[in-house]
Amino acid sequence: MIKMLSTKEILSTLFSYMVNYYDWERFPDFEAIYQFILKEGEQTFHYYISIAKGKAEYHEGEHESPSIKIYSPVSVWLDIASGRLNGFWGLITRKYRIEGPLSYLKQMDKVFGKKIDIPEIEEKIADYEDPKKRIWKKPDKVLVINGSPRQEKGFTFFYLQYLLKGFEKAETEVEVINIYDKHINIEPCRGCSTCWTKTDGVCVIKDDANDLLEKIGNAYLTVYAFPLYIESIPAKLKALLDRRFIIILPYFIPYCNLTRHPLRNKKERYMVLFSVCGLPEIEHFKPLVETFKGMARGSHTPLIATILRPGAEGLYGSPYGKEYLKKVLESLEQAGKEIIEKGKVSKNVMKAISKNYIPLAAWREGANWYWYLKREK
Ligand SMILES: Cc1cc2nc3c(=O)[nH]c(=O)nc-3n(C[C@H](O)[C@H](O)[C@H](O)COP(=O)(O)O)c2cc1C
């Protein structure tokens, strides 16, 4: 069980950070003893950092002849350390006080200012991630992950076929993997982080997810096709997507005012979201689309199209739907061609695919009759 850290544990972490931040390259001859006297309620914590011979160490306790003494409430010093409070301003406004030469305090920012130097931390956003700079190359092959538990008998595949027809018309090879095939074994991620700390991106679980992720990693374009399950992704596909933890490094970089991880192997790749659902309104896909946007950001793999068909069964089975169904299927084929040729789908085609063509009252009445009769039998 994870327990709350005590103030002493928090301070030990803080001082161990400070020691790491000591910039021995810039200040190899700097010598000082910083004594901290930090108070929280009735408790007083004594720590000192000694810097000598290019080395910084922290100790608990009191040094007999420190260069400077810093008296502060714990919360104030934590605010200064995190950058929430300017150290100098804190001193002027008497949030804390010092004994000893001010120069030691003034130098702290620089002396403890070593920047982390990790070669894999590359903050540049690749051109292919920016639709304005992207140069789309027509793919020779598309990988399609069918995440419908009903595999080729499902509505996902019924609609998907037409998108695939469009791919083939644009002369692209298609590989479909039905991940609910009983021979494909995918265990859920265990959250052990071994792939981050010890094995350089190799998962400790030995099952079919590893080969699948390698395939996805090598594919220029992957289509994720599946039915909406509780506003989200069917469990086996979600397990596969969670296992993508291996593709990212455990570091943090900025991306458009957010934070993400760097990729282990940088490569130009794209993805398409293809989903069908039972309810008739497009709004039901909102959480899923947000999830995929996040996934695209996190995996440095732009989401180039979201092909969504709500009311999948209703449109197929309704006596009022036949003509509209034809229109949807033709639009899906068109979307397939556009994805391959342009790397995007025009708005009117997307709209034609997603529109609810059956008046809602008739849709609900029809759906209620369908299930009522099913239950009666
Ligand atoms: C467990 C489960 C959860 C579902 N959750 C939703 C949902 O949240 N919203 C929705 O509109 N349809 C939902 N559906 C309906 C399916 O998305 C819909 O029937 C879809 O067309 C099934 O595709 P398939 O035949 O490929 O399995 C759910 C179906 C199941 C079995």
Q: Are strands 303-309 and 141-146 parallel, antiparallel or unpaired?
A: unpaired
Pocket test for ligand 1, best of 157, 229, 289 (most atoms within 8 A of CB): 229
Same domain membership, residue 78 and residue 24: yes
Nearest-atom index, ligand 1, CA of 148: 26
6 lies in some domain? no
| CA 222 remoteness from chain centre | 17
Residues 201 and 332 in one domain: yes
Q: Which residues surround ligand 1 with Cβ inside 6 Å? A: 148, 150, 154-156, 227-231, 276-279, 284, 312-313
Q: What tokens does 146 get?
A: 């069918």
Strand 303-309, strand 173-178: pairing = unpaired
Residue 38 belongs to some domain of the structure: yes
Residue type, 228: L
**How many residues does the structure list for the chain?**
377
The residue whose CA has the least distance to atom 24 of ligand 1 is: 154
CA distance 216 to 301: 11
105 and 138 inside one domain: no
**Minimum CA distance residue for ligand 1 atom 31:** 229
For the CA of 312, the closest atom of ligand 1 is 21
End residue of a domain, out of 54, 81, 111:
111
- The amino acid sitting at 244 is R
- For the stretch 54-71, what's the b/e string if a residue is b when 16 or more beta carbons lie within 10 angstroms of its beta carbon? eebebeeeebeebbbbbb
Q: Which of 62, 81, 111 is the last residue of a domain?
A: 111
Q: What is the CATH number of the domain that holds 53?
A: 3.30.1050.10
Residue 4 forms part of a structural domain: no
For residue 56, list its beta bridge partners.
Answer: 51
Q: Domain boundary at 84, 111, 138, which? A: 111
- Please indicate, yes or no, whether residues 184 and 266 belong to a single structural domain of this protein: yes
The answer to whether 335 touches 345, Cβ cutoff 8 Å, is yes
Cα–Cα dist 297/194, whole Å: 23
Q: How many other C-beta atoms can be found within 10 angstroms of the C-beta atom of residue 24?
A: 15
Distance 312 CA to ligand 1 centre (A): 9
What separation in Å is there between the alpha carbon of 375 and the centre of ligand 1? Answer: 18
Q: What is the pLDDT of residue 377?
A: 65
Classify residue 142: in a domain, yes or no.
Answer: yes
266 and 188 share one domain: yes
> How many angstroms separate the alpha carbon of residue 237 from the centre of ligand 1?
14
Q: How far separated are the first and last CA of the chain, in Å rounded?
A: 51
Is residue 306 a part of any domain in this protein? Answer: yes
Q: How far apart are CA 359 and CA 147, in angstroms?
A: 30
State pLDDT tens for residues 308-362.
999 999 999 988 888 999 999 999 999 999 999 999 999 999 999 999 999 999 9
Split the chain (377 residues) into runs of 10 and give each run's mean pLDDT.
Answer: 96 96 96 98 97 96 97 97 95 97 95 89 92 96 98 98 98 98 98 97 98 97 98 98 97 95 95 98 98 98 98 92 95 98 97 96 93 85
Which segments within the chain are labelled E, that is strand?
32-40, 43-52, 55-60, 68-73, 97-99, 141-146, 173-178, 221-227, 253-255, 258-260, 270-276, 303-309
Q: Which atom of ligand 1 is nearest to the CA of 153?
A: 25
| pTM (predicted TM-score) | 0.92
**How buried is residue 5: exposed, middle or buried, by Cβ count under 10 Å (0-12/13-18/19+)?**
exposed
**Atom in ligand 1 nearest the alpha carbon of residue 158:** 26
Which of 153, 155, 224, 228 to probe ligand 1 with, by most ligand atoms within 8 A of CB? 228
Total domains in the chain come to: 2
Q: Which atom of ligand 1 is nearest to the CA of 228?
A: 17
pLDDT of residue 304: 98
Domain match, 299 and 170 both? yes
- Point out the ligand 1 atom lying closest to the alpha carbon of residue 230: 8
Domain hosting 147: range is 128-376
Nearest in space to 23 (alpha carbons), one of 101, 100, 90, 117: 117
Residue 2, domain member (yes or no): no
pLDDT, position 319: 87
User: 270 and 372, same structural domain?
Assistant: yes
Residue of 157, 180, 230 to test ligand 1 pocket, by largest number of atoms within 8 Å of CB: 230
The domain that holds 236 is classified in CATH as 3.40.50.360
Contact 98, 37 (CB under 8 A): no
The minimum-distance atom of ligand 1 relative to the CA of 277 is: 17
User: Are residues 267 and 160 both part of a single domain?
Assistant: yes
The protein residue with its alpha carbon nearest to ligand 1, atom 19, reads 278
The per-residue pLDDT for 321 is 87
- Minimum CA distance residue for ligand 1 atom 22: 227
- Residue identifier of the C-alpha nearest atom 28 of ligand 1: 229
Distance from the CA of 331 to the center of ligand 1, in angstroms?
A: 22
Closest-CA residue to 288 (of 344, 216, 226): 226
Q: Confirm whether 259 is domain-assigned.
A: yes
Q: Are residues 40 and 138 in the same domain?
A: no
Has residue 341 been placed in a domain? yes
d(CA 265, CA 260): 15
Q: Are residues 200 and 285 in the same domain?
A: yes
Q: How far is the CA of 153 from the centre of ligand 1 (A)?
A: 14
Rounded CA separation 329/322 (Å) = 11
Q: DSSP state, 53?
A: T
- How far is 211 from 209, CA to CA, in rounded Å? 6
Residues 170 and 313 in one domain: yes
Strand partners, 32: 51
- Residue 140 and residue 83 share a domain: no
**Of all protein residues, whose CA lies closest to atom 21 belonging to ligand 1?**
277
